[in-house]
Structure 1
Amino acid sequence: MSDTYGKSVTLTIFGESHGPAVGATVTGLAPGVPVDMEFMRGQMEKRRAKGKISTSRTEADAVRVLSGVYRGAATGTALTLVIENTNTRSGDYTKTEELLRPGHADYTAHMKYGGHQDARGGGHFSGRLTAPVVAAGSIFTKLLQTKGVAIATHLAQCAGIDDAPFSGDPARLKEQLDALNAADFAVLDPLRARAMTQAIEAAAAEGDSVGGILETVVLGLPAGLGEPFFGSVESTLAALLFSIPAVKGVEFGLGFGFAGLTGSRANDAFRMQGTRVVTATNHNGGVNGGISNGMPLVLRTVVKPTPSIYKVQQTVDFAAKRNATLQISGRHDPCILHRARVVQDSLVAFGLADLCGQHFGTAWQEGTAWNMD
């Protein structure tokens, strides 16, 4: 079992949904890198469950630093963060523990771990493990900000409702990213936020759930990050993004939209902008040959509807080895998109920091910025 990812920096997660705590350990931070606990709290707040569009399981999500930080900065040794689970109701799962929940990892977890897994609330497969991801990711998000890199994600689509698109104007795009990072419900059009919220509430009222698409833009990346094949920008980030529970698809730039184009329409023409090489369009989403080209990095993920729904479903009683029906109880999200956007931001930040370390070494963490000219 591998709970660790990364090369120049590593992220390890641990814990279960209904265990005493969840947490993360980060290695590879240079001594002296600031660890802004106030910024971390703000990032954790974006992930918290709120209102009728989220689960009623609310956690304080107070992050405790066990090691690797002294006087507000990284020491250069392993940095470990712990978040206690304070609002579990394991009894909700007792009466249906032998029934395999459709869309969940109950069956595959049993086959992998031989019945020794902690199945309560999904155990180690739970979205609860994204809490330490956000806590650890906040360090890299803040670090990249000091280098002029901005990351933001919006709900490009939710319950079939599309948000307004990102602007093609660089100045306006930066304003949009700043606004998204300050928003509780990350959309570009407030009217569509209302429609999405109503759709989520309507699904919840019927005991159902909805999914959608998260779109992320990164500004300020230098050209030259990534490798041609294994370790490309896309393969590095895709591996992390597919680690988010419920993500079932990832695309960069136009993604699957390339299928209907000719090469003359798909190619991004190169132009000079002062002393910098830029592209006239950004169909490739800031990446050529697996390597960043200095244009905005654009990616999207498809997030499936939350599998925990209150409708009666067909399943199997695993202990009795017979067909059965299941109607779950407990507390569950009718949609996770609005909470998952900061998880996506966090893993993108971590992946980019890892790529920066592979290209620049640890010096990039200590300097003020890189030269993109």
Structure 2
Amino acid sequence: MYFFLAYLFIPSINAIVSVQIHRLAQYKPNSSCALLANVTLSSSVSIQSCIWQCVEELKCQTAVYSYDNNICWMYGESCESGSIESSGSNRSSVICYRKNPNSNMHCPSAPINNNSTTTVTLIIIQASNIDIINASAQYGCPTSINVTAKDQATVGNLCATDQLNIDASGVAHVSINTSICARIMYIFVGSGSPNIDNICATQSLIIQSSSASTIVYNSLATCPSNASVTVSNSAKVVNVCSTDQLNIDASGAASISINNSVCPRVAAVNLQSSAVAHGICATDLINANTSSGSTLTMIRSNSALLCPLLANVHASTGSRNYVCGTQVINVIADNGASVYCYGVLNYMQVLSGALVFAW
């Protein structure tokens, strides 16, 4: 009888902590099967034989398959997590997240499709160097995925039904399956210039980037209820959107563009240090603070679906602002800022060389 201990690296918002996974219970009679996690794909290590030994001897009932490298993650019935960790120059494909109680003792020659419910609630992917990992939603998505992609790693076609966390750096490239949006998505970029494509969420989107990343929201996907974007140092966010509340905090020449096919009810925008925000819209309220050569451009429209009922703008130190409000615009401008207003100007305070114009 064999028992395995594995270590999962589970990213929190600011760090990755190590959690020990103990042997799981409720296995197939006359066999013992525990989670085999943190498999390291490397040309210098013969992982395949180790995995096959697990399959042969432990006869696990449930499997997650990586077909390209014939790698098989095996689980007991009660197992609800898995891990993929690669470090090297590898190509692998996460094909199937589904429970398969009647699986063969070997990894199948092709993914097995069945009608059972998804059993894996968490997949962890850690990719580095020039790894290429491609996930497939063909047989369903796990509840959650945590991804760490760095160096020149490519992680593609990701999907999760509840939460998708991405930590990217270097020149990594991460892309999301375009047909499925997680309920919650969290993206963190601390360094480098990675690209993250086709992001989407149905409830909450949080983006934090302090480097020259490019993050693109899937313009054909639904928008989350709430979105928060905090970017600096030339980061670029494209097509971000929300239906209820949008918070933007940008500095250091970062740029943000909005998909205004759906506008939030309320938007709060804070721009500093040459940051740029284009296409800002809301139905009820926009509060904006701009400074240090930043540029704010709202949608110029008579439609209450694009231009808010109320717009409050505090512009200073050379910022440039294009502001729309269908009922009320309140402006405080100072230190050489310029504000162009489209709508009803209700209040204006202009100081220290600032200018206010009709738009």
TM-score for the superposition, normalised by structure 2? 0.22
Query: Per chain length, whose mean CA-contact separation is higher, i.e. which structure has more relative contact order (CA < 8 Å, sep 6+)?
Result: 1
Higher helix share: 1
TM-score for the superposition, normalised by structure 1? 0.22
Higher strand share: 2
Q: Which has the larger radius of gyration?
A: 2
